[in-house]
Amino acid sequence: MTGPTGGTYDEFSLFEENATEAGLPWTGPPVVRREATDVGEGRVVSALVWGSTPARMVFLHGGGQNAHTWDTVALALDRPLVAVDLPGHGHSDWPGDRRALDPGAMADDVATVVDRLAPDAEMVVGMSLGGMTAIALAARHPALVKRLALVDITPGVNHDKSSDIQAFLAGPESFASFDEILERTIAFNPTRSESSLRRGVLHNAVQREDGSWTWRHQLGRPARSTGLHVDPLEFGSLWDDLEHIGAPVLLVRGKLSPVVDDADEAEFRRRRPVDGVITVDGAGHSIQGDRPVELAAILARFLPGS
Structure confidence by residue, pLDDT tens digits, 119-140: 999 999 999 999 999 999 999 9
pTM confidence score: 0.93
Above 90 in pLDDT, residue 159? no
Compute the distance between CA of residue 128 and CA of residue 293 in angstroms, rounded to an integer: 19
Beta-bridge mates of residue 144: none
Catalytic center residues: 128, 152, 285
Beta-bridge mates of residue 205: 215
Averaged pLDDT score across all residues of the chain: 91
Provide the pLDDT confidence category of residue 4 given band limits of 50, 70 and 90: low
Provide the pLDDT confidence category of residue 227 given band limits of 50, 70 and 90: very low
Give the burial string for 187-208 (b: 16+ CB within 10 Å, else e).
Answer: eebeebeeebbbbbbbbbbebe
Asked whether the beta carbons of 221 and 124 are under 8 A apart, the reply is: no
How much is the pLDDT for 229? 38
Domain ranges of the chain: 15-302
* Alpha carbon distance, N-terminus to C-terminus of the chain: 41
Mean pLDDT of the region 215-231: 54
Residue 120's nearest CA partner among 76, 150, 82 is 82
How much is the pLDDT for 164? 82
Degrees to nearest 5, angle at CA 294 with 289 and 295: 65
Burial class (CB in 10 A: 0-12, 13-18, 19+), 94: middle
Q: Which helix (H) or strand (E) holds 122?
A: none
CATH of region 15-302, choose from 3.40.50.1100, 3.40.50.1820, 3.40.190.10, 2.60.120.10: 3.40.50.1820
Provide the pLDDT confidence category of residue 228 given band limits of 50, 70 and 90: very low
Above 50 in pLDDT, residue 105? yes
How much is the pLDDT for 225? 42
Between residues 235 and 231, which one has the greater pLDDT?
235
Above 60 in pLDDT, residue 261? yes
Residues whose CB is less than 8 angstroms from the CB of residue 152 and which lie 6 or more positions away in sequence, other chains included: 127, 128, 131, 252, 253, 254, 257, 259, 260, 283, 285, 286, 287
Compute the distance between CA of residue 94 and CA of residue 64 in angstroms, rounded to an integer: 13
Structure confidence by residue, pLDDT tens digits, 75-96: 999 999 999 999 999 999 988 7
Between residues 77 and 98, which one has the greater pLDDT?
77
How much is the pLDDT for 166? 79
Compute the distance between CA of residue 175 and CA of residue 179 in angstroms, rounded to an integer: 9
